Amino acid sequence: MAAHDPRDTPSHSLQEFFNTTAERDQPGDVFELESDRMLEVHVKGRIWSKLGAMVAYRGELTFKREGMLEGGIGNALKKMVSGEMTPLAKIEGRGVAYLADQGKHITVLRLQGESINVNGNDLLAFEDTVQYSITMHRRISGMLSGGLFSVRLTGTGLVAIMSHGHPLTLRVSPTDAVMTDPNATIAWSGNLSPELKTDVSLRTMLGRGGGETFQMLFRGDGFVVIQPFEEMPVMTGQSA
């Protein structure tokens, strides 16, 4: 029998409510999970986060949207061509920020010189010690939910990614390729470069739209991370 979670109790005294929901101070790391859906970030300088993910903060912090030239000229050109901007914000100063996005599950990763690619819609935050660049994929207007491009993260530091539910990591090997639904794909190892595959034998059915079904094909040696949820395609902002 599952253990009872006090948060499931239908009513609380004010003291019980505070004791149950109060932040848990675990000093040490820059990123601290207050719950599996709330990230506490200790800022001493600069941190990068998803634009609009801040739900509360304390201290002397400023929040600025990523500029066109952030990440170098190469990234600026990609942003101009795609008509999109990775929705990132700089959190600068000294203080504590609390980040969350649509109640998604948060996973904190520690890069130690490795690289990982994250769907732009599923990247919550990363330390300033981590370098980022934008990787564009085949342009399909409105097909991928926030995923016309991914963000490649490289270096040493903490990265917070998000998923609807607990993520599942699938091994990719030279003899065993993996195909995924783009709307359920959240990240993949830095050495992999997915191909966008059209399967004309699969048709979207049951009122979910029409036309060909697109898949992401991963070949090589690495991993791909998926979520138990398909984000419905949305139209992202396009330049005229």
pLDDT at 86: 55
In this model, does residue 124 exceed pLDDT 60?
Answer: yes
pLDDT digits (tens, 9 = 90+) for 58-97: 999 999 987 644 555 445 445 444 444 557 899 999 999 9
Range of lowest pLDDT (7-11, 105-109, 162-166, 181-185):
7-11
pLDDT at 146: 44
- Local confidence band at 202 (pLDDT 50, 70, 90 cut-offs): low
* Residue of higher predicted confidence among 5 and 97: 97
- 49 falls within a domain: yes
- Local confidence band at 212 (pLDDT 50, 70, 90 cut-offs): very low
Indicate which CATH number applies to the domain containing 68. Answer: 3.60.160.10
- 5 falls within a domain: no
b (16+ CB within 10 A) / e for 182-202: bbbbbbbbbebebeeeeeeee
- 21 falls within a domain: no
- Taking alpha carbons only, the member of 123, 105, 235 closest to residue 167 is 105
Instruction: For residue 68, give its domain range.
Output: 27-226
3-state helix, strand, coil in the chain (%, to 5): 10, 50, 40
Mean pLDDT (the chain, rounded): 78
Segment 178-198 shows an average pLDDT of 89
- Local confidence band at 9 (pLDDT 50, 70, 90 cut-offs): low
- 237 falls within a domain: no
How many domains does the chain contain in total?
1
- 83 falls within a domain: yes
Reported residue count of the chain is 240
CA distance 147 to 136: 9
- 153 falls within a domain: yes
- 161 falls within a domain: yes
As given in the structure block, the two tokens for residue 25 are 């101070």
- 109 falls within a domain: yes
3-state secondary structure of 143: coil
Other C-beta atoms within 10 Å of 234: how many? 12
Map 205-239 to HEC letters. Answer: CCCCCCCEEEEEEECCCEEEEECCCCCCCCCCCCC
In this model, does residue 16 exceed pLDDT 80?
Answer: no
pTM (whole model) above 0.85: no
- CB 160 within 8 Å of CB 127: no
- CB 66 within 8 Å of CB 85: yes
